[in-house]
């Protein structure tokens, strides 16, 4: 879909898109159309009893005020209009237009503003939402009927400051491209996306200025990464560790310590010898969601030339059962030197992250470190699919992450850590075990395990098991891979590390 911005002008073709506030109050642009049509728009709106101009509401009208199609979108009360609400409106409109088979549309934004920003900002946020919702994973569709395909090809957003809107949208679109890369990676089946092919995909970021290193099993074995390598030893696919570096801080900040992001990248998780039930196992292609988010984040940072030094580390493995697979009861030695008794081979993500986190803090000495992982089903029981779990050893870091999540509507909920939980993973014959044998506090136990590998670095763990994949559409996220975390972390970097 092509998105452009233009000054206010008459609309000669395609659908006309107009905003409406709570209780049917027309925006300036909608009011102008209503006056030209001698109240036809108001009468049509009054007849549509279910449309009140509330958040996420849309209404399609046909043959009104001289237009083939008019699409109205609701924004609620003017004082409640923020960036997220505008993005949701853009996404809802894009979904409606595609569903209706409309090929082109013009949105008029006179009278819709974003508090504290110029006239073009609201238009840019609306367009960003439309861009996010219009994405679709189409690679394997070969027989889809033409009428089932997305129809919307062009969207023009009219605003009195088109130049400012275009500039703001360029930055937002860089973030969108990172989101789309993550959605693509998470959507790919495991016969296409496995550790080596994932690493090759990450290598493409070098074209954007990201420094990319790929460590194979021989190099990881030399580093002592027995925890990560143990997870992948049952697979014919070689495990990989990918290191991404974006060195965007200039001037006096050029050599400052980076902020680090670490992603769990289990490209398929059978559970290993502790085999998962067959029902639903197909979903385990997205157990690499954390690594997918880190990859997409670095594309976004590179495309918008972020003024930050950042490091990304992806632990990429495939967890398979075979004659070579890790067994329950095995003991592995992590890069840190700490030994781990593997009680359950399906608690594998924490083993991967144990070595990836240690490697990151040991090599790069980051000022802060955030890991993302589809780590536990328990977090879905605790929080459902609306919030990701947040764990941290640093209150300030946790608060900054939560604020960034709230700003982009990728919400986090902090859960506790503590000695009482930590003692539960002590092993009788090794330094620790990877589960407790109880279902109690499953997500906390996973986070507590990870904390043993971060030393004193300010660290946060985001358990995104419930938010990586969605079974339904939302205004800005189509059903499927969500890329939850890309926008959150991009905002986190913007607000805290690019001063």
**Would you say 238 is a known binding-site residue?**
no
Q: Is 414 a residue of the active site?
A: no
Domain 2-161 sits in CATH at 3.40.220.10
The secondary structure of 25-89 as a DSSP string is EEPHHHHHHHHHTTTHHHHHHHH-TT--S-TT-EEEEEEETTEEEEEEEE--SGGG--HHHHHHH
pLDDT on residue 118 = 84
pLDDT at 98: 96
Which strands sit side by side in the sheet containing 331-333, from one edge to the other?
331-333, 339-341, 432-433
pLDDT at 119 (0 to 100) = 85
- 176-497: CATH number: 3.40.630.10
| Cα–Cα distance measured from residue 225 to residue 112, given in angstroms and rounded to the nearest whole number | 55
How many whole angstroms separate alpha carbon 468 and alpha carbon 185?
Answer: 12
pLDDT for position 42:
95
38 has catalytic annotation: no
Please indicate if the annotation marks 264 as binding a ligand.
Answer: yes
Q: Which one is catalytic: 167, 221, 247, 276?
A: 276
The answer on whether 365 is annotated among ligand-binding residues is no
pTM summary value: 0.98
Instruction: State the 10-residue block means of pLDDT for the chain, 499 residues long.
Output: 97 95 97 96 91 96 93 97 98 96 97 92 98 96 88 97 97 98 98 98 98 98 98 98 98 95 98 97 98 99 98 99 98 98 98 99 98 98 98 98 98 98 98 97 98 97 98 97 98 95
Task: Give residue 22's pLDDT.
Answer: 97
Domain boundaries, the chain: 2-161, 176-497
Say whether 324 counts as a known binding-site residue: no
Catalytic residue among 350, 433, 452, 491: 350
């Amino acid at each position: 879909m092509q998105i452009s911005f233009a000054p206010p002008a008459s609309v000669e073709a395609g659908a006309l898109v107009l905003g409406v506030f709570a209780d049917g109050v027309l925006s300036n642009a909608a009011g102008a159309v209503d006056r030209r049509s001698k109240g036809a728009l108001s009468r049509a709106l009054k007849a549509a009893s279910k449309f009140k101009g509330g958040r996420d509401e849309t209404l399609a009208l046909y043959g009104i005020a001289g237009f083939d199609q008019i699409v109205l979108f609701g924004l609620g009360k003017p004082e409640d209009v923020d960036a997220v609400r505008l993005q949701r409106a853009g996404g809802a409109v894009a979904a409606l237009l595609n569903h209706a088979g409309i090929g082109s549309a013009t949105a008029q934004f006179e009278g819709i503003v974003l508090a504290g920003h110029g006239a073009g900002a609201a238009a840019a946020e609306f367009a960003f939402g439309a861009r996010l919702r219009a994405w679709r994973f189409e690679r394997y569709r070969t027989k889809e009927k033409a009428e089932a395909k997305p129809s919307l090809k062009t969207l023009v957003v009219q605003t009195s400051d088109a130049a400012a809107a275009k500039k703001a949208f360029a930055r937002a679109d860089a973030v969108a491209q990172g989101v789309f890369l993550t959605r693509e990676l998470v959507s790919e089946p495991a016969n296409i996306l496995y550790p080596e092919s994932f690493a090759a995909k990450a290598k493409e970021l070098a074209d954007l200025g990201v420094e990319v290193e790929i460590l194979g099993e021989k190099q990881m074995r030399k580093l002592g990464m027995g925890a990560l390598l143990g997870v992948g030893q049952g697979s014919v696919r070689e495990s990989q560790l990918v290191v991404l570096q974006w060195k965007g801080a200039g001037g006096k900040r050029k050599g400052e310590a980076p902020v680090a992001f670490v992603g769990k990248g289990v490209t398929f998780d059978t559970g290993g010898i502790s085999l998962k039930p067959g029902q639903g196992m197909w979903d385990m292609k997205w157990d690499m969601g954390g690594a997918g988010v880190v990859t997409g984040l670095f594309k976004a940072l590179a495309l918008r030339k972020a003024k930050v030094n950042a490091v990304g580390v992806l632990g990429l493995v495939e967890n398979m059962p075979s004659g070579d697979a890790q067994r329950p009861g095995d003991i592995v030695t992590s890069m840190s030197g700490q030994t781990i008794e593997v009680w359950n081979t399906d608690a594998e993500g924490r083993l991967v992250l144990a070595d990836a986190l240690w490697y990151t803090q040991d090599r790069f000495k980051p000022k802060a470190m955030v890991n993302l992982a589809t780590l536990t089903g328990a977090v879905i029981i605790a929080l459902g699919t609306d919030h990701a779990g947040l764990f941290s050893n640093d209150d300030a870091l946790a608060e900054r992450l939560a604020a960034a999540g709230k700003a982009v509507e990728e919400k986090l909920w902090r859960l506790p850590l503590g000695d009482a939980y930590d003692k539960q993973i002590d092993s009788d014959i090794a330094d620790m075990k990877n589960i407790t044998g109880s279902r109690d506090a499953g997500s906390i136990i996973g986070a507590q395990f990870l904390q043993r590998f971060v030393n004193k670095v300010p660290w946060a763990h985001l358990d995104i098991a419930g938010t990586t994949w969605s079974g339904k559409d939302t205004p800005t996220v189509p059903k499927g891979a969500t890329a939850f975390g890309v926008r959150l972390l991009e905002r986190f970097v913007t607000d805290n590390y690019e001063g």
